[in-house]
Structure 1
Amino acid sequence: MIEFKLHFDKELLDSLTSFQDALFEGIYQEKLSQKSGYYHLPFEQNAIEETADYLKYHQDFLSNISHLIIVGIGGSSLGLKAIDSLLKHLPARKAMQVIFLEHTDPIYTTCALQNIDMQKSLFIVISKSGTTIETSSLLKFILQKYDLLRNETSKKHLLIITDQDSPLENWATSENLTHFKLCPNIGGRFSILSIVGILPLGILGFDTKALLHGAKNMMQGFFKRSEDHILQKALVFASRKNQTPINVLFSYSSLFQDFNAWYVQLWGESLGKINTKGEKTGLTPIALIGSIDQHSFLQLIVQGIMDKSVTFLGINPTYSREPRIPNISLKYLEATDFVNGQGFSTLLNKQQLATMQTIQYEGIMTDEISITHLCEESVGMLIAYFELLTSCVGHLFEINTYDQPAVEFGKQRLKKLL
């Protein structure tokens, strides 16, 4: 379903083999310590059961919903947006339009809500702390605009997801609003497999059990030592953090646009920290879409400073009815005829291969992730893979992978400015 290939220097990999057991033991102990609860999410049924109950008791109400509006920022929205974008083509996906209100851009917010009918809309407000200023501001805006607290009927159009005992939960309780609780030791950017993602994805019609099953398989494989490529990749990245401080995720499909954004937050916010020695550390994430960015950023990768590694992420399915390039020869454009008759997915895959070979020829470090069947299960595997990889690198960096103190500094300064 997913194939992982490390195209790293064999001598480098061999030199790091002796460190794999210690890294694995560190992650295993981190899991046992409950430092982050995300390790256990694929094995839990709470979110699945709560979602099933909500869908069962609100079936008639949901049948009239045409718009799902997600109010949340960062980890409260990026993972959900990523999965919906990747799987929107599946036949089970309901014909609801999803709108994300993520920040206080006045033009975007006004345009996004321009044709929203409250009677056909469901607003889901997601905030772990309950006091995220973007989310609370947008909440106040939609409360006033749509008079959502007018009566019990209008309140059905508003759901809250937040930490237990947060200010937002206390407010939701006081207003008798339907609300769902997050586990306190799961940070936003690691929360997509919790109720944060499971509830909205269930409402949209996705098979959330399969999503968790895929993540469970990846987790079990990792802790049974059958996914040691994750340990190897983390060790290589950590050992070369000074020579290769930038990781490029080169994703070959426009379906990965939102997944790339999820990866950027996960990688950047988790790894950019001050370590136990008081040193600033981290790896810079860059997300590209192929073949589009072959015509822009590729030039910098190949002939710019050699400070980047490249992870290629692609879909390699076999389509029997994919659109093909017509076997037409156009005058003056005969030089392009070599692709005539090829399927578009075949062309995209060959473009990825040609780009990867070009980069490898320059001695640039690469690895490859290939999805042969894009579905809920494979996406669950992909989510768990990147989360585990992030934890492994964070452990090697000797940092707290799960906090974000610098983000809090910015929030404090905003409060003073206003």
Structure 2
Amino acid sequence: MLTFNQYFDKNSELRHLAHPTKKALDNVFDIISSERKNKKSGYYELPFEEKALKDSQNYIQKNQALLNNIKNLVIIGIGGSSLGLKAIDGILYHLPSRKDIALIFLEHTDPIEIQKSLFGLEVKDSLFVIISKSGTTIETSSLMKYVIKRYNLLNSAQSKAHLIFITDEDSPLYFLAKEYKITVLTIAKNIGGRFSILSTVGIFPLTLLGYDTKEFLKGAAEFEKRFFERKEEHLLKKAIFLAKNRDRFPINILFSYSSAFRDFNSWYVQLWGESLGKLDIYGKKVGLTPIGLIGSIDQHSFLQLITQGLMDKTITFISLNRAKYTEPKIPDLKLKYLESTDFVNGTSFAKLLNLQQIATMETIQNEGIPTDHIEIDELCETSAGRLIIYFELLTSCVGGIFNINSYDQPGVEFGKIRLREMF
């Protein structure tokens, strides 16, 4: 369902770096296997667990009458608490199973955005989901306080039914929920926000939206199982290539050829940037800079820089198999003065986009720029699960080579401390 092609050896200078030794592959694999065994991060276990599915189904069964009237699902969270959900809904929104529920995100403290997001919204047909590991993140807690006050959500059992918390067990938010008798679902403490989409953080709202979350987890589980059976060695090779060439190629571009991946790109940027920008065990600053682009739009804003700017970038292309998308087509319409554009007449837009991706990739490869390509046969829950776990495992592998903790974010915490001091 997902095909992975690597072209790192198109440049003759890099050919030896594109084919690491078995010893190098084994070393990286051992690092990741040790992380998984020692539960350094709980995300490794998520595809195989049923807790999130059971919690979601239990909630739906107990609250069916309320959910029948829900038209708005309001997610209050920031970063990993919202980006993963946005990414998957963006990829799968076209599926017929997707319910007619507006997905609204409150993640920004911009007053204009807050008012715009909540304009015309009523409690009776809305469910407010507060997602935070601690509940003390200033953006999330401030937005939560605002909606509680604005909609009087703590005034009665009926109003509190429109409120649900997802948090760490024994967190301040957990105790708040227990105090006020608000529904609360928990996640394991060793699951960081940017690695949490396969937990209740993602599974609960995605289930409410009508997606087959069992298949979503199954897709991730199948790929992870194959990886630990050493059947997806391309991932280890890519991690080694990117990590060992970090000084030469410090910028990694995800060039996604479908607007459905716009929010996925944002999720990738956080995952890659926040996980890998760290101090290593020797106190040296390391990291790789992620950039998300959408084809063919960004061909007209960024391709020039890639092809003739500094040779400091690698490019990962994501594209869809367009065989089934035969409509709409470009009309066979010939217009005076526009004769130079007639060569695409009668072609489907899907084919045009596919050929644009191929032309862009070949142009970049001809400049000696390292590329790889992920082709997706069909955008569905299974392929989305595989794509998520692929990038999470890749991030862990690169972090392992860097000798860093890929799962904390001390730099972000410094900013939080400084904000408190300013107040």
In structure 2, what is the equivalent of residue 22 of structure 1?
Answer: 27
Does residue 1:347 correspond to 2:352, yes or no? Answer: yes
Write out per-residue CA displacement over residues 342-371 of structure 1, whole angstroms, 9 at most, x where no aligned residue. 111111010000000000000000000011
Once the two structures are superposed, residues 209-252 of structure 1 have per-residue CA deviations (whole angstroms, 9 ceiling, x without a partner) of 00000000110010000001000000000110000000000011
Please name the residue that 1:376 is paired with. 381
Written as runs of structure 1 = structure 2, the 5 A alignment for 1:46-125 is: 46-125=51-130
CA distance, structure 2, for counterparts of residue 321 and residue 293 of structure 1: 24
| Cα pair 1:67 1:97 within 8 Å, conserved | yes
- What is the aligned partner in structure 2 of residue 3 from structure 1? 3
Deviates more, 1:1-10 or 1:15-24: 15-24
Distance in 2, Cα, partners of 1:99 & 1:137: 17
Are the aligned partners of 2:217 and 2:382 in contact in 1 as well (CA < 8 Å)? Answer: yes
Give yes or no for contact 1:83–1:259 (8 Å, CA) kept in 2: yes
Aligned to 2:363: 358
SS of the equivalent of 1:130 reads coil
**Aligned AA for 2:231?**
S
Aligned residues: 418
* Identical residues among aligned pairs (%): 57
The residue aligned with 2:241 is: 236
Structural mapping, 1:278-357, within 5 Å: 278-319=283-324, 321-357=326-362
Partner letter of residue 116 of structure 1?
A: L
User: Do residues 195 (structure 1) and 200 (structure 2) align?
Assistant: yes
Secondary structure, aligned partner of 1:181: strand
Partner residue in 2 for 1:209: 214
Question: 1:13 aligns to what SS in structure 2?
Answer: coil
Which letter does structure 2 place at the counterpart of 1:5? Answer: N
Look up the equivalent residue of 1:107 and give its one-letter code: I
Structure 2 unaligned spans of 5+: 10-14
Is 2:223 the counterpart of 1:218? Answer: yes
Give per-residue Cα distances to partners, 1:303-351, cap 9 Å, x unaligned. 0000000000111132255211111111110110111111111110100
Letter in 1 for 2:160: K
| CA–CA distance in structure 2, aligned partners of residues 169 and 18 of structure 1 | 46
The DSSP-based 3-state class of the residue aligned with 2:45 is helix
Question: 1:115-264 maps to which residues of 2 (within 5 A)?
Answer: 115-264=120-269
One-letter identity of the residue aligned with 1:166: S
Deviations 1:84-139 (A, max 9, x none): 01101100000000100012010000011011011000000000121000000000
CA contact (8 A) 2:20 2:240 kept: no
Give the counterpart letter for 2:5 in structure 1.
K
Opposite residue 370 of structure 1, the aligned amino acid is: E
| DSSP 3-state at the match of 1:345 | helix
Structure 1 distance, partners of 2:388, 2:302, is 25
Distance 2:33 2:380 in 1: 29
Residue 182 of structure 1 deviates from its aligned partner by 1.1
1:304 corresponds to which letter in structure 2? G
C-alpha deviations, 1:41-69, integer Å up to 9, x for none?
Answer: 00000110111111112112101000000
4+ residue runs of structure 1 moved beyond 6 angstroms?
Answer: none
* Distance (Å, rounded) in 2 between the aligned partners of 1:88 and 1:395: 34
Amino acid at match of 2:416: K
Give the C-alpha shift of residue 12 in structure 1. 2.0
**Relative to 1, partners in 2 of residues 1:371 and 1:131: Cα closer, same or farther, differing over 3 Å?**
same
Quick one: distance in 2 between partners of 1:346 and 1:100? 34
Give the C-alpha shift of residue 11 in structure 1.
2.6
Shift of 1:15: 4.3
CA drift at 1:141:
0.2
Partners of 1:119 and 1:314 in 2: how far apart? Answer: 41
The change in CA–CA distance for 1:320 and 1:241 in structure 2 (over 3 A counts) is closer
Q: Which residue number corresponds to residue 12 of structure 2?
A: none
Take 1:367 and 1:185, find their aligned partners in 2: how far apart are those partners?
32
User: Alignment RMSD, CA only?
Assistant: 0.8
Go from structure 1 to structure 2 and tell me whether the alpha carbon gap of 1:412 and 1:154 turns closer, same or farther (over 3 Å shift): same
Distance 1:12 1:405 in 2: 32
Taking the aligned partners of 2:5 and 2:397, their CA distance within structure 1 comes to: 18
For the residues of structure 2 that align with 1:71 and 1:178, how far apart are their CA atoms? 15
**Which of 235, 259, 270 is equivalent to 2:275?**
270
What is the deviation of 1:272? 0.1
SS in structure 2 of the partner of residue 125 of structure 1: strand
Cα contact 1:16–1:235 (8 A) shared by 2: no
Shift of 1:14: 2.7
Q: Tell me the CA shift for residue 17 of structure 1.
A: 4.1
